[in-house]
A and B are shown apart, each in its own frame.
Chain A
Amino acid sequence: MTDVLLRLDRVNSFYGPVQVHFDLSLEVPCGQIVCLLGGNASGKSTTMKVILGLLKPRSGQVVFDGQPLTGLNTPQIVRRGIGSVPESRRLFGTMTVRENVLMGAYTRSDAKSVAEDYEGVLDLFPKLRERHAQQAGTLSGGEQQMVAMARALMGRPRLIVMDEPTMGLSPLHVDRVLEMIQTINRQGVSIFMVEQNASLALQIAHRGYVLQTGRIVLSGPAADLARDPQIRDAYLGGAQAA
């Protein structure tokens, strides 16, 4: 057991000839919520892709629980204990809510404990119990976000990576989602979340990193970042920086 659950070590990633990350390094300590802040096109979602093995970095490595993930494909990485809540949910639209949530347990073969966990997440998201037979694509944005989180939980991950979990939600739902993230975190799951909305993310995060055009320009405890004048200007004030 190490204190650092996830570590990115001088990652350089590219889309064809275009470089997205420049020596990106960051850490997610065990049991914490860490947020990655940054404006549009700064490379946040690409960081998620690198962690999940959907994009192979040209150099540098991702280390999870002390083991480098180099050379593993996405399903193998997921099996190591990383769950994900992708950008804009990415539910399986014509499958039912129940099917969507249970797809999260795809890697598990213990039918009995899967069934127990399924009851568990329905207790956590009671709304989904009413909707379990409905097609996921027909749910509201907030409900879809719950399905996505429930799906990620079903794999019993040690870390959940989330891409802009509050995007496009009404203020009421935003609060609900943030509460949920804290609840999940209190159950011992570490969280790495990517956010454009710094003020929201810093409310619940322990630590934060600020990404600008593929480089970490600032990092520290969430409380410090929230007070940092640079952040205030760039993200917490009126105009958002690119």
Chain B
Amino acid sequence: MSTASLYTRRIEVSADETKPRKHQDHHLWKENLWRLAIVAVLIVAWQFAVDFGWVNAFLMGSPGGIAIEAWRQLQSGQLLSDTWTTLYATIVGFLLGSIGGSMAGLLLWYSRHVARIIDPFVVALNGLPKISLAPMIIIWFGSGMLSKVALAFIATFIVALLSAYQGTHQIDANLVNLMRSLGATKRQIFLKVVVPATLPWIISAFRLNIGFALIAEIGGEFIASDKGLGRSIFVAGNLFNLNAVWVGVLTLMLVAIALYLVVSRIERHLLPWESR
């Protein structure tokens, strides 16, 4: 029963992320053109609305103001150093958490007994909003980068563990039987069946974890930090500098997109047989 709850949790976590996404390429440039057009129209409309006084630039910011602010931050080097700080803490926490969690989840395949014992702890931790740990983590690890890494780690570890563990339960029992009939050891079954069969689940957890790592990292920066995009957004918000808020938000968006692209690359590299 206990293990069954680990199992069902995983479905909630990533039911719609389990299958790698496939796109057809032929209409891609046309679609991109439409997207560009939409963005251009939005920007122009926004700028007009501000210029004609229909929208309050003080409360909303304006495209022109955002561009000027972005240029200023680029010149001063603040934007790059904030981005780097956030990116670094996110990536380190994300990698440690996702890889560590996946490995822990895979290793649980070895022992149903251990899995059953730790199950309630995993379920409880999974339900907990990890950001609620931020004040504690900041007390322990300080307001610097280390606490952000720790937060991103915690936010990603459990997701990766659950995903990998449930992946090991989706393996075709016949594949394992085939290995056994060939005289394979448990270790051989683990390395040659369990790990590759679970890889798609692990990758899907990686994709989810980009978001979770960023939430934890930015949340941590909001609470206590001396650098980073989260801090920059937070401070700018307190000063009602909406243009600077937008610069931070848009940069974060770019960071998230870049991370997704990297994971997709890794996916294509690790799962060549999935690219049909």
Real binding pair: no
